[in-house]
């Protein structure tokens, strides 16, 4: 599996790096806000230009002067993430603000980039009007030869910039992307340990970890290969109650988390062992169930719990009682911080994904349905009884079955649940939802 070449977008805070990233990838993914420090993690996106594909890394703003105000207590982490991106990337796009002009911090960032030895393109952003053309020339003082006036808002000049990106990277067109990755969303309420879990799974400090809830304000993509299987993880911002979403940027972070659930194959719902299941956990679980996603429940911070022989049974009983609509999801007790059972997660994901794609032959399916009907026939209601003639599988991801019957209205919810449980047990379909459709016998036209 060939790796995409990486391009890092760096610069001081609030020069429009995330806006430029959004324009390049053609969708609003990176969070954009006027407040400095919004982009706290490096985030990797797939980008394409002229049939050439590459990875684009959005980074936190670089403060390179210890005397400056560091209002975020994890500012050093942001700087470190940006520096790691520099080490990973084959090409750098340094972004500056053409509206405000050259800033002393731009000089510091340019010096850092020169020392890195990476080829660098200078994108002078916010050049929406011709009046700002005069500001362009002062940026040549940074000593970077290739300067491109651009506007992340209108898209002006971005094409020229991307032409040079492709030229510098010497990318061959018509690169075929591998679409066989298992897409895994790590979700949960704030401060449950999602970023710590991602770091543990990757064996690297991929996401910034902080005891301050809400540190991850964007979705963080990362890929890893285990036993010839590609896993694409998305670490999302914690989903809060709407009443507590006070900032615009946090609203967008919540939307990213919801989108991650909608677009994943499997959701890892991270629960805090010290707080068990709360209302917000139930709402997130509801999103997973409503979107028919495979799911693994992870009870994190298990190392902090005082345990006896009955502790696990008590926790499982409490979780099942409050998350009844995720009854199909297995439970794993872990500690992301101490790496307790975290690598069992890969095996669980693979098994769930296999079940998520399960496909039965029509013959096997009808034998299973015949057996469950014989074991427990449907009850008659007002003299009428549900009769199931035959069943066919009509979809995967998740497995979907259509049962042809005499009257779909006679299929009681409790009997639907019975059929679902019997099919799940018959085929061992742990971790994936099942969808059942009842199709009544069509009346003959008169």
Domain boundaries, the chain: 6-169, 182-356, 362-440
CB 223 within 8 A of CB 233: yes
pLDDT at residue 32, rounded to an integer:
42
pTM greater than the 0.85 cutoff = no
What pLDDT score was predicted for residue 431? 97
CATH of domain 6-169: 3.40.50.300
pLDDT value of residue 155: 80
In CATH terms, is domain 182-356 a member of 2.40.10.500? no
- Give the per-residue pLDDT at 365: 96
**Residue 66 gets which letter from DSSP?**
T
- pLDDT tens for the chain, 446 residues long, are 457 789 999 888 889 888 898 888 875 554 444 444 444 455 777 787 876 888 888 876 665 444 344 444 444 555 665 677 778 889 999 999 999 999 988 888 888 888 888 899 999 999 887 666 777 889 999 999 999 999 888 888 888 899 899 999 987 764 344 457 899 999 998 889 998 998 899 886 555 444 444 444 455 577 787 878 888 888 776 666 655 545 554 555 567 778 888 889 999 999 999 998 999 899 999 999 988 999 999 999 999 999 998 999 999 999 999 999 899 999 999 999 999 999 899 999 999 999 999 999 999 999 999 999 999 999 988 889 999 999 999 888 999 999 999 988 898 989 999 999 999 999 999 999 999 999 887 544 43
Q: Does domain 362-440 have CATH number 3.40.50.2300?
A: no
Distance CA 402, CA 422 (A): 15
Helix, strand, coil content of the chain in percent (nearest 5): 35, 20, 40
Q: Do domains 6-169 and 362-440 have the same CATH topology?
A: no
Strand ranges across the sheet with 147-149:
43-49, 52-58, 6-10, 91-97, 120-125, 147-149
Q: How far is CA 397 from the centre of its chain?
A: 18
Q: Which long-range contacts (CB under 8 A, 24 or more apart) does 364-372 make?
A: 365/391, 365/392, 365/393, 365/401, 366/390, 366/391, 368/422, 368/423, 368/426, 368/427, 369/403, 369/419, 371/422, 371/426, 372/418, 372/419, 372/422, 372/423, 372/426
Nearest Cα to 336, choosing from 221, 186, 183? 186
pLDDT on residue 244: 53
Q: What is the pLDDT of residue 204?
A: 61
- Helix runs in 272-411, H state only: 279-290, 311-322, 344-356, 362-375
- Token digits of residue 9: 């977008």
Residue of 248, 305, 253, 249 lying closest to 276 (CA atoms): 305
């Amino acid at each position: 599996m060939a790796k995409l070449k990486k391009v890092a977008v760096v610069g001081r805070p609030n020069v429009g790096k995330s806006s430029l990233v959004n324009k390049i990838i053609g969708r609003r993914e990176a969070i954009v806000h006027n407040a400095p420090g919004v982009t706290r993690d490096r985030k990797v996106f797939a980008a394409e230009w002229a049939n050439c594909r590459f990875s684009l890394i959005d980074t936190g703003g670089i403060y390179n002067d210890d005397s400056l105000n560091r209002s975020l207590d994890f500012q050093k982490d942001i700087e470190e993430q940006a520096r790691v991106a520099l080490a990973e990337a084959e090409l750098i796009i340094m972004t500056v603000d053409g509206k405000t002009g050259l800033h002393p911090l731009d000089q510091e960032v340019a010096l850092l980039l020169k020392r890195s030895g990476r080829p660098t393109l200078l994108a002078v952003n916010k050049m929406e009007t011709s009046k700002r053309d005069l500001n362009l020339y002062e940026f040549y003082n940074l000593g970077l030869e290739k300067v491109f006036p651009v506007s992340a808002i209108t898209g002006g000049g971005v094409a020229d910039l991307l032409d040079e990106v492709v030229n510098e990277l010497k990318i061959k067109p018509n690169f075929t992307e591998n679409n066989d990755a298992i897409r895994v969303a790590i979700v949960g309420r704030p401060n449950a340990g999602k970023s710590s879990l991602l770091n543990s799974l990757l064996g690297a400090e991929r996401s910034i970890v902080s005891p301050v809830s809400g540190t991850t304000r964007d979705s963080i993509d990362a890929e890893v290969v285990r036993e010839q299987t590609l896993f694409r993880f998305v670490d999302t911002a914690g989903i809060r109650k709407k009443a507590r979403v006070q900032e615009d940027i946090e609203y967008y972070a919540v939307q990213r988390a919801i989108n991650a659930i909608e677009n994943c194959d499997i959701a890892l719902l991270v629960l805090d062992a010290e707080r068990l299941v709360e209302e917000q956990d139930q709402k997130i679980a509801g999103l997973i169930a409503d979107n028919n996603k495979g799911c693994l429940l992870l009870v994190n911070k298990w190392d902090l719990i005082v345990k006896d022989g009955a502790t696990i049974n008590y926790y499982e009983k409490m979780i099942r009682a409050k998350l009844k609509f995720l009854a199909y999801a297995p439970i794993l007790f872990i500690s992301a911080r101490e790496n307790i059972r975290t690598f069992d997660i890969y095996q669980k994901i693979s098994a769930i994904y296999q079940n998520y794609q399960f496909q039965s032959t029509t013959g096997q399916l009808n034998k299973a349905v015949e057996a469950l009907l014989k074991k427990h026939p449907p009850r008659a209601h007002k003299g009428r009884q549900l009769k199931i003639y035959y069943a066919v599988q009509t979809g995967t991801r998740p497995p979907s079955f259509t049962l042809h019957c005499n009257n779909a209205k006679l299929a009681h919810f409790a009997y639907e649940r019975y059929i679902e449980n019997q099919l799940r047990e018959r085929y061992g379909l742990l971790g994936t939802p099942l969808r059942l459709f009842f199709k009544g016998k069509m009346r003959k036209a008169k």
